[in-house]
């Protein structure tokens, strides 16, 4: 990549991904049940080698992958991203046994992963989580394991995931210093869940932990270092959340260009009206600015830049807010047709809202940016 212009091979690959999403993945997504894991779609992502790319790609390539899939099939993009989010801690911090057991299954689309951080009282303030991990054997540090008790909420892929990356309070220190990450298989005794009826095409649920046993073999990283596992994962995926948003914005923009160039009104086409042309120009400019910031953040991650937290937060903030703006105005310029169930923009309008909340709401991103600027 030269500056922020993609090379010919990258452009060709993105075009292939967009076509693949529309022709191969979109039909599988349409057959899925909203709010349920679409296992045939996951299997196709594995068969096509796209899940493998989540774990072997740099941050920029991951952004291009997510943006291109989002353009043609948001369900496929989300299924792919959730596999990465739930399993990346295993790749980065897991034991050889954990990696050997789970990662081949995740890459093949046979095992469903989930990232279980949020709680009813700890959403944006992740360091305030309360899920408790109490040592077996009277709570002595030398005990063989822990018992997890509490609740997780708003967990993507719950309660249908095959394993969860779970963050619990082990008490080595206050706030973030006392959090530990565990890999918890879904069949572990005492673990149960229920789906939540959400504005989301993929499953989101609540998990209940009733003395769920975990041992040293279930640790992801060291005790008391779980918050770092969580933040390292989020820093990797935040720019690509922005890429997901850019993909939706570009799809909405292209649909708007086609519609306003063809729809006749007031003696001409809509695009001839200055008010319409100016609005489309604003949509295109904001989308391009978001795309460039996402690519810059991904490049910073790939180069090991120390300002990744700030750049990642900026990319997610601008891209998700921009996508909301672009999709909303696309609906307005299309008129009533865009509100019909099954229309591309009706679908995008529902999809575009959640990314401004998950993996750190826009307000959290602004807080991160400010802290990094004043550091």
Beta bridge partners of 150: 209
Q: For the domain that residue 367 is a member of, what is the CATH number?
A: 1.20.140.10
Q: What pLDDT shows up at residue 176?
A: 74
Active-site option among 75, 119, 351, 359: 359
Q: Is residue 3 part of a domain?
A: no
Q: Which of 108, 143, 161 is the last residue of a domain?
A: 108
How many helical (H) and strand (E) elements, i.e. helices and strands, does the chain have?
12, 9
**Do 91 and 118 belong to one domain?**
no
Helix, strand, coil percent content, the chain, rounded in steps of 5: 60, 15, 25
353 shares a domain with 283:
yes
Q: For residues 189 and 127, state if they share a domain.
A: yes
Q: Is 9 among the residues known to form the active site?
A: no
The CA–CA distances, whole Å, from 276 to 111, 265, 284, 286, 324 equal 47, 12, 12, 16, 18
Predicted pLDDT at 265: 87
CATH of the domain at 138: 2.40.110.10
pLDDT the model gives residue 174: 74
316 and 180 co-located in one domain? no
> Which pair of tokens denotes residue 24?
């191969």
- CA–CA dist 244, 200 (Å, integer): 15
Q: What pLDDT does 2 receive?
A: 44
Going along 132-195, which residue ranges are E strands? 132-135, 146-156, 163-169, 179-185, 191-195
Q: What is the CATH number of the domain that holds 82?
A: 1.10.540.10
CB count within 10 Å of CB 105 equals 16
Q: Tell me the whole-structure pTM to 2 decimals.
A: 0.92
Do 238 and 193 share a structural domain? no
On whether the CB atoms of residues 361 and 284 are closer than 8 A, the answer is: no
Distances (CA, A) of 38 to 45, 69, 159, 203: 11, 16, 13, 9
Task: Report DSSP state, residue 305.
Answer: -
Residue 158 included in any domain:
yes
Task: Note the pLDDT of residue 171.
Answer: 81
Tokens of 166: 């779970």
Q: 3-state DSSP call for residue 163? A: strand
Residue 299 within any structural domain of the chain = yes
Task: Report the phi/psi class of residue 343: left, alpha or beta, with left for phi > 0 and alpha for psi in -120 to 50.
Answer: beta
For the chain, the domain total comes to 3
CB 21 within 8 A of CB 68: yes
CA-to-CA distance for 275 and 12, rounded, in angstroms?
A: 34
Last residue of a domain, one of 200, 224, 248: 224
Domain contains 2: no
Max Cα distance, the chain (Å)? 81
Please indicate, yes or no, whether residues 245 and 213 belong to a single structural domain of this protein: no
Same domain, 236 and 220: no
**CA torsion angle 242 244 248 250 (round to 10):** 70
Tokens of 315: 């990319």
Task: Tell me whether residue 288 is in a domain.
Answer: yes
| Residues 89, 18 within the same domain | yes
- Same-domain check for residues 62 and 85: yes
Contacts of 225 (CB under 8 A, 6+ apart): 180, 181
The DSSP bridge pattern shows strands 264-265 and 132-135 to be unpaired
pLDDT at residue 137, as a whole number: 64
- 189 within some domain: yes
Same-domain status, 88 and 120? no
User: For the chain (length 375 residues), average pLDDT per consecutive 10?
Assistant: 73 95 96 92 97 95 97 97 97 97 97 96 78 75 80 96 97 82 97 92 93 96 93 89 97 98 91 96 98 95 92 96 98 96 95 91 95 94
Interacting residues of 351 by C-beta distance below 8 A, sequence separation 6+ = 74, 201, 248
How many residues belong to the chain?
375
Tell me the residue range of the domain where 36 lies. 8-108
**Rounded Cα gap, residues 115 and 230, in angstroms:** 9
- In whole angstroms, give the CA distance from residue 375 to residue 81: 31
Residue 341 domain-assigned? yes
Last residue of a domain, one of 108, 124, 157: 108
Q: Are residues 129 and 200 in the same domain?
A: yes
Give domain status of residue 88, yes or no: yes
Q: Which residue has the tokens 């068969």?
A: 47
Same domain, 213 and 233: no
């Amino acid at each position: 990549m030269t500056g922020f212009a993609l090379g010919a091979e990258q452009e060709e690959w993105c075009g292939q991904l967009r076509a693949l999403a529309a022709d191969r993945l979109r039909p599988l997504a349409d057959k899925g049940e909203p709010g349920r894991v679409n296992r045939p779609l996951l299997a196709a992502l594995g068969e096509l080698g796209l899940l493998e790319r989540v774990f072997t790609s740099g941050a920029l390539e991951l952004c291009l992958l997510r943006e291109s899939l989002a353009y043609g099939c948001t369900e496929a993009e989300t299924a792919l991203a959730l596999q990465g989010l739930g399993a990346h801690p295993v790749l980065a911090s897991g034991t050889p046994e954990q990696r050997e057991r789970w990662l081949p299954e995740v890459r093949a689309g046979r095992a469903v992963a989930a990232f279980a951080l949020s709680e009813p009282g700890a959403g944006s303030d992740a360091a305030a989580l309360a899920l408790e991990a109490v040592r077996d054997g009277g709570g002595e540090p030398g005990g063989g394991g822990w018992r997890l008790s509490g609740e997780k909420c708003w967990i993507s892929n719950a309660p249908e995931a095959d394993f969860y990356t779970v963050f619990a309070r082990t008490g080595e220190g206050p706030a973030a210093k006392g959090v530990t990450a565990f890999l918890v298989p879904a069949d572990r005794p005492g673990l149960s869940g229920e789906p939540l009826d959400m504005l989301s095409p993929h499953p989101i649920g609540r998990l209940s932990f009733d003395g769920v046993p975990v041992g040293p073999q279930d640790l992801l990283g060291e005790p008391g270092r779980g918050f770092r596992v969580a933040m390292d994962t989020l820093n990797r995926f935040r720019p690509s959340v922005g890429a997901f948003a850019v993909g939706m914005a570009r799809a909405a923009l292209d649909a708007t260009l086609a519609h306003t160039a063809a729809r006749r009104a007031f003696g001409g086409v809509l695009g001839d009206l200055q008010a319409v042309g100016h609005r489309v120009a604003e949509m295109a400019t904001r989308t391009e600015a978001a795309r460039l910031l996402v690519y810059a953040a991904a490049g910073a991650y790939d180069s090991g830049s120390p300002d990744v937290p700030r750049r990642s937060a900026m990319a997610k903030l601008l891209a998700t807010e921009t996508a909301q703006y672009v999709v909303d105005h696309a609906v307005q310029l299309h008129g009533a047709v865009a509100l019909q169930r099954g229309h591309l923009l009706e679908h995008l309008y529902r999809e575009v809202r959640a990314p401004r909340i998950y993996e750190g709401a826009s307000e959290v991103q602004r807080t991160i940016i400010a802290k990094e600027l004043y550091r």
